[in-house]
Structure 1
Amino acid sequence: MAMAPTINVVLGSVAFAVFWVLVVFHAVPFLPIGSIAGSLLGAMLMVIFGVMSPEQAYDAIDLPILGLLFGTMVVSVYLERADLFKYLGQLVAWKSRGAKDLIFRVCLISALCSAFFTNDTACVVLTEFVLNIARQHNLPPYPFLLALATSANIGSSATPIGNPQNLVIAVQSKISFGNFLVGLLPAVLVGVLVNALIIIGTFWKLLSTKQDLEHVDLEIVASEKITSDQVSPITSHHLTDNHESPGRSSNKSDVSKGVVEDLDESFQQKEETRTLEGLETTKREFTTQLKLILSGKEMSEKWKHLSWKICVYFITMVMLIALVFGLNMSWTTITAALALVVLDFKDARPSLEKVSYPILIFFCGMFITVDGFNRTGVPNKLWDIMEPYSRIDHVGGIAVLSLVIIVLSNVISNVPTVLLLGGQVAASAATISTSKVTKAWMILAWVSTVAGNLTLLGSAANLIVCEQARHAPSLAYNLTFWRHFKFGLPSTLIVTAIGLFLIRG
C-alpha cells in the first residue's frame, strides 16, 4: 500500500498516538477517560480527520470476532454459575504434596482454563483461590500469582478462543479450531512445563522453607447448635375438701351442689388438658410432616441444580467438539450461549449483565483506529524495511520477527500488533511457499501471546491478577511492575524460543 497524502499521514498518526497513550497508560492526567473511551476517541478522530470515511469505519468493525468474543463470554458466565471454576480451584489444593507441587498445579490448571475459557476469565476466577493457597501454607503469594498469570497467557495460545488476538488470527487466517490446536499444543505443553520449572528454580529456597502452619482444608465446617422444644407440663387443680367455717352450718344441698360444681370444674380441666395435649401432638406431627416435605423439596432442588450443571457442561463440550470439527466459530459459540440461556429457563438479564460489554466497545474502536492507521501507509512502510530480515525461511528471520512482535506487543499491546502485522506476515510467508502461511500465523499467535509475560502491562491477564490481588479480602498483595519484569524477561525469552521449534504449521 502506497503512502497516503502527508496531511492524512500526520493526522492519522496523531489519532493513533492518542489511542496508544490512552490504551497503554489507561488514565493519563490530562485526559483521564480510560482505555475504553480512548479507543472510541481514536476511532472518531480517524473519521473527523478524514483519514477514513464513516462507511469505511463501519466496515472496519469485524463482526465475526465480536460475535465469537460475545459467545465465549456468555458461556464462561454460565460455567462460572455452574461452579466449574470453583471445582478447578479446589483441585489445585487437593492432596497437594508441598509448595512445588502447588506451583505445578497452578500452572496446569490456569493454562487449561485459559485455553478454553480465555485467559482473562481464568485469572478473574482463580486469583482468590491462589491467594488462599498461599495463606494456608504460610507462603508469599508472589510466585503463585506469577504462575497463574504467566501460565494463563501461555495456555491461552493453544486455541482460537483462548485470547482476543487469537480470535483475530483465527478469523483472518480461516485456520480451523482443530488445526490451530494441533499446531500450537506441543509448544504450549512444553512452554507451561518450562515456565513452571523457571518459577520453581527462581524461588527454590522460598518454596523449600519449612512452613510454620500445617495444611488447612479449604472447607470450614461450622458447628451446629441443636435446640429442642420442650412442652411445659400443665398443672392440674386437685379436688380438695370443703371445710366449714367454725360457728356456721351448711345444709346437705349446699354440700351436694358444691361437690357437683367441683366435679364439673375438674372434668373441664381434664378436657382442657386433653385438648392441649392433642394440639401439641398435632403440632408435632405437623412439624414432622413439614420437615419431611421441606427436606424432600430441598433434595429435589439439589437434584434439579445438579442436572442443570450437567447440562451446562454437556452443552459446553458439544460446543468445543463442534469447534474442533470446523464449524463456524462465531455462530457456534453464539448458539451455545443461547442454548444455555434457554436451558436456564429464567430471565437472562442478570447473566447477560456479567458480559464485559466495554471490551466489545473497545474492540470496535480499536478495529477502526488500527484500520485507519493502516490506511496512512506508515505500517506498510515500516514493514518493508523489516521484511527482508524477518522472513520465516531461516532461523535468523524467525528470531528477528519474534523480537519485533515481542516489542510491539508490549508497546502497543498484542491485539493491535496482530491487526497491524497479520496480513503483512502472511503475505511475506506466501512469497516463500503457500505452506508457510499457516506457520506464519501460528508464529504470530504464539509470540504475541507469550510476549504478554514480559511486563505487567503486556497482557490484560497480568493486570487482572494484579488488581484482584491488590484488593483481595483474604490476603492483599501488590504485584509491582519491576517484580514482574524481573521474572518475565527470562521466562518470555526462554519459553518463546523453545516454543518456536515446536510449532507445527
Structure 2
Amino acid sequence: MTETLETPRARGLSTGAIVAIALPLLVLAGLALVYRGALTTLVTQTPWRTQAAVAIFVATYAVIAIGKLPGTRLDRAGAALLGAGLMVGVGAMTMEEAFAAIDLDTIALLLGMMIVVANLRISGVFRLVNAFAVSKAHSPAVVLVAVVLATGILSAFLVNDAICLVMTPLVIELTKALERNPVPYLLGVALAANVGSTATITGNPQNMIIGTVSKIPYGQFAGSLAPVALVGLAIIVAIVVVAYRSEFLTKTTMPEVRLKAHVNKPLAIKATLLTLAMIVLFFLGQPVAKVAIICGGLLMLTRRVKPSRVYAEIDGALLIMFAGLFVVVAAIEHTVLTPDIIQRVSSFSLDDVWVLTGVTAVLSNIVSNVPAVLIVRPFVEVLADPAKAWITVAMASTLAGNFTLLGSVANLIVAERAAANNIEIGFWTYFAVGAPVTIATLAFGAWFLS
C-alpha cells in the first residue's frame, strides 16, 4: 500500500521537526520529574518482571514516537516486533498469550483493503476519477475544491495513505500544466486524506482497529463521523484559500487541461464492481474483515496482472507493526493495568467528549495515532458509553494527524513525493495551515459528538 519513506527524521531534522519531536518528550520528562517520588516508590515496590515490561513498553513507544532508533536502522515496525519478542522473553506473557493478543480481524481487514486499493490503482480507476473531477474545474478555487473532495471521498472508503500515493503525482502534473503554485493544492491533498478518512472504519488503520475492537456497525460509525468529515473538508478549503489568498482570490484565466487516464478496462470494471459490492456489504452489517479479505482474494483471480505487482503494493511493515503493538500493549495490560488502575484512570473525566478528545489528540501527536488508540483501549472499554468514546477516539486520533507534517504517514507521503519533484513543503509551511485546520476540525468534532 505504501512505500518505505526516507522521512525528515531519517534525512536530517529541520528546526520545526526537532521542535515537534522534542516538545512532547520534554513534557513527559517534566511529568516524570514532578512525580519522581511516586515513580521511585513504584519502581522499588514493583516486581522485576513488571519493571521490565514497563521499560520495554516505554522504549518501544519512544522509538515509534521518534520514527527510528538513533544510530541504527531499527524503524517503527522493527521496534514493535522487538518489543513483542522481549515481552515474551521476560515472561510478561507466554507465546500462546502473545498470539492470542494479535487481533487477526484487524490484520485481515487491512490486508484485504490493501489488495483492493492496489487493484484500483493498477487498473487506473483512481486516475480516471481524478481526471473527471478536474475536467469540471475552471478556476483555482474550484480546482482546490475538486482536489479536496476527490481526496476526501476516496479516503473515506479506502486507505488514506494509498490515496495520497495516487493523488500527489496527479496534482503535481495538473498544477504544472496550469502553471499554478502546487503547494496549496498538495496541502489540500494531505489534509483532506486525513479528514476524509475519519468518516468510516476503512478510512485509515486506526479506525480499522477501533471498528474491529468496538464492534460498532459500519453504518453507525459512518453516520456518526461522516458529517464531521464533510465539515472538515469545507474547513480545509476555507483555511487554504485564506492562507494562499493571492493564489485563489485573484481573477485569472485558466487553460483547459485534461489529465490522460490510461485504464486497464477489464480490471477497472472488475475492481470497481467488487469495491462497490464490498462497501454495500459493509453498510448492510456484514463483518468488514471477512468481506474485505474475500474481495481481496477475488481480485487476485486474474489473467492480466502479475501477483507480484499487487504484492509490491502491500505494506508489510505496517502489518508487522500492528501485530507487534497488539502484543506489547497486551503485555502491559497483563502486568501493570489491573482493573483498579484502569478504573481510576478512566474516572478522570474521560467520559467527557472534550476531555477524551484532548487526551487522544495530544497522545496521537506524541506516539502517533495507531499506538495512541491501542494505549487508550483498556480505559475506553470500561467507560459508561464505550461506543461513543470509541467514536470520539477515532475522530480525535485521525484529525490530530493534521497538526504537524510528522503527524501522519499521509502527510509524509505528500511531502516526500513533492520533494522528489523539487517542490518543498517544509515543516512550518505545513504547520501554518495544518495547525488551524486541526484545531478547527477537532473543536467542531468534539462539539458535534458532545
The answer to whether TM tops 0.5 is yes
User: Structure 2: which 5+ runs fail to align?
Assistant: 1-41
Return the alpha-carbon distance in structure 1 between the equivalents of residues 329 and 404 of structure 2.
23
Tell me if the contact between 1:422 and 1:444 (Cα under 8 Å) persists in the aligned partners: no
Return the alpha-carbon distance in structure 2 between the equivalents of residues 131 and 308 of structure 1.
26
- Which of 62, 82, 99 is the equivalent residue of 1:58? 99
Gap change, CA 1:443 and 1:43, over 3 Å in 2: same
Tell me if the contact between 2:174 and 2:259 (Cα under 8 Å) persists in the aligned partners: no
**Superposition pairs for residues 15-54 of structure 1, below 5 Å?**
15-54=56-95
Return the alpha-carbon distance in structure 1 between the equivalents of residues 297 and 190 of structure 2.
30
Task: Give the secondary-structure state (helix, strand or coil) at the position aligned to 2:313.
Answer: coil
The CA deviation string for residues 19-52 of structure 1, in whole angstroms up to 9 with x for no partner, is 2232232234322322221211111221222222
**Superposition pairs for residues 337-348 of structure 1, below 5 Å?**
337-344=296-303, 347-348=306-307
- Which of 463, 469, 472 is the equivalent residue of 2:412? 463
The yes-or-no answer on 1:160 pairing with 2:201 is yes
Q: Report the alpha carbon displacement of residue 490 of structure 1 after superposing the two structures with TM.
A: 1.6
The CA deviation string for residues 96-125 of structure 1, in whole angstroms up to 9 with x for no partner, is 221111111111111111111111011011
The yes-or-no answer on 1:120 pairing with 2:165 is no
Tell me if the contact between 2:346 and 2:382 (Cα under 8 Å) persists in the aligned partners: no
The yes-or-no answer on 1:492 pairing with 2:435 is no
The yes-or-no answer on 1:215 pairing with 2:164 is no
The CA deviation string for residues 374-428 of structure 1, in whole angstroms up to 9 with x for no partner, is 3342698886665444343xxxx32222111011001111111111212312312
Tell me if the contact between 1:456 and 1:485 (Cα under 8 Å) persists in the aligned partners: yes
Task: Give the secondary-structure state (helix, strand or coil) at the position aligned to 2:381.
Answer: helix
> TM-score if structure 2 supplies the norm length?
0.84
User: Structure 1: which 5+ runs fail to align?
Assistant: 221-301, 431-435
Between 189-198 and 352-361, the greater mean CA deviation after superposition: 352-361
Return the alpha-carbon distance in structure 2 between the equivalents of residues 101 and 380 of structure 1.
53
The CA deviation string for residues 269-322 of structure 1, in whole angstroms up to 9 with x for no partner, is xxxxxxxxxxxxxxxxxxxxxxxxxxxxxxxxx99x534422221111111111
1:362 equivalent in structure 2:
321
What residue identity is the alignment partner of 1:479?
A: I
- Which of 373, 384, 390 is the equivalent residue of 1:441? 390
1:417 equivalent in structure 2:
372
RMSD: 2.7
Return the alpha-carbon distance in structure 1 between the equivalents of residues 47 and 68 of structure 2.
30
Task: Give the secondary-structure state (helix, strand or coil) at the position aligned to 1:502.
Answer: helix
Tell me if the contact between 2:157 and 2:200 (Cα under 8 Å) persists in the aligned partners: yes
The CA deviation string for residues 469-490 of structure 1, in whole angstroms up to 9 with x for no partner, is 1113xxx222222222222222
2:271 equivalent in structure 1:
312
What residue identity is the alignment partner of 1:466?
A: A
Return the alpha-carbon distance in structure 2 between the equivalents of residues 415 and 327 of structure 1.
24
The yes-or-no answer on 1:68 pairing with 2:68 is no
Which of the pair has more CA radius of gyration?
1
Return the alpha-carbon distance in structure 2 between the equivalents of residues 374 and 81 of structure 1.
42
2:359 equivalent in structure 1:
404
- Which of 396, 405, 426 is the equivalent residue of 1:480? 426
The yes-or-no answer on 1:453 pairing with 2:412 is no
The yes-or-no answer on 1:131 pairing with 2:172 is yes
Return the alpha-carbon distance in structure 1 between the equivalents of residues 106 and 355 of structure 2.
29
1:374 equivalent in structure 2:
333
> TM-score if structure 1 supplies the norm length?
0.75
Tell me if the contact between 2:235 and 2:441 (Cα under 8 Å) persists in the aligned partners: yes
Gap change, CA 1:482 and 1:16, over 3 Å in 2: farther
What residue identity is the alignment partner of 2:255?
A: H
1:184 equivalent in structure 2:
225
Between 462-471 and 336-345, the greater mean CA deviation after superposition: 336-345
Tell me if the contact between 1:165 and 1:418 (Cα under 8 Å) persists in the aligned partners: yes
Tell me if the contact between 2:134 and 2:147 (Cα under 8 Å) persists in the aligned partners: no
Tell me if the contact between 1:107 and 1:147 (Cα under 8 Å) persists in the aligned partners: yes
Return the alpha-carbon distance in structure 1 between the equivalents of residues 363 and 295 of structure 2.
35
Return the alpha-carbon distance in structure 2 between the equivalents of residues 478 and 108 of structure 1.
23
1:111 equivalent in structure 2:
152
The CA deviation string for residues 186-209 of structure 1, in whole angstroms up to 9 with x for no partner, is 111111112211111222233334
What residue identity is the alignment partner of 1:333?
A: A
Tell me if the contact between 1:319 and 1:333 (Cα under 8 Å) persists in the aligned partners: yes
What residue identity is the alignment partner of 1:13?
A: V
Tell me if the contact between 2:67 and 2:75 (Cα under 8 Å) persists in the aligned partners: yes
The CA deviation string for residues 223-254 of structure 1, in whole angstroms up to 9 with x for no partner, is xxxxxxxxxxxxxxxxxxxxxxxxxxxxxxxx
What residue identity is the alignment partner of 2:111?
A: F
Tell me if the contact between 1:190 and 1:499 (Cα under 8 Å) persists in the aligned partners: no
What residue identity is the alignment partner of 1:419?
A: L
Return the alpha-carbon distance in structure 1 between the equivalents of residues 237 and 347 of structure 2.
36
Task: Give the secondary-structure state (helix, strand or coil) at the position aligned to 2:407.
Answer: coil
Tell me if the contact between 1:110 and 1:151 (Cα under 8 Å) persists in the aligned partners: yes
Q: Identical aligned pairs, as a percentage?
A: 30
Q: Report the alpha carbon displacement of residue 461 of structure 1 after superposing the two structures with TM.
A: 0.8
Between 196-205 and 68-77, the greater mean CA deviation after superposition: 196-205
Task: Give the secondary-structure state (helix, strand or coil) at the position aligned to 1:457.
Answer: helix
Q: Report the alpha carbon displacement of residue 167 of structure 1 after superposing the two structures with TM.
A: 0.6
Tell me if the contact between 2:345 and 2:379 (Cα under 8 Å) persists in the aligned partners: no
Tell me if the contact between 1:187 and 1:500 (Cα under 8 Å) persists in the aligned partners: no
